[in-house]
């Protein structure tokens, strides 16, 4: 389940780093609380950026100019 906003994704990434011991819990009390209550897998899923689908450029209306 990806995060709904970039701010939420960043918070989950910080919580994941706290859970792994890469950051101290004092870095962000809110993220430390999330790190205690969520599993590492849940945090990783939220912190993951959604994959954007490759789309073809849309063709301009009108014909070809000569």
* Residue 19 CA: distances (Å) to CA of 5, 15, 23: 21, 6, 8
Domain definitions of the chain by residue range = 6-47
Q: How far apart are CA 52 and CA 55, in angstroms?
A: 9
How far separated are the first and last CA of the chain, in Å rounded? 50
Q: How far apart are CA 25 and CA 39, in angstroms?
A: 16
pTM exceeds 0.85:
no
Q: 7-39, pLDDT tens digit by residue?
A: 999 999 999 999 999 999 999 999 999 999 999
């Amino acid at each position: 389940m990806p995060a709904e906003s970039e701010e939420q994704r960043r918070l989950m990434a910080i919580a994941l780093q706290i859970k792994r011991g890469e950051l101290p819990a004092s870095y962000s009390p809110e993220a430390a609380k999330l790190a205690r209550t969520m599993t590492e897998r849940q945090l990783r899923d939220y912190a993951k950026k959604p994959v954007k689908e490759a789309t073809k450029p849309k063709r301009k209306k009108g014909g070809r100019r000569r």
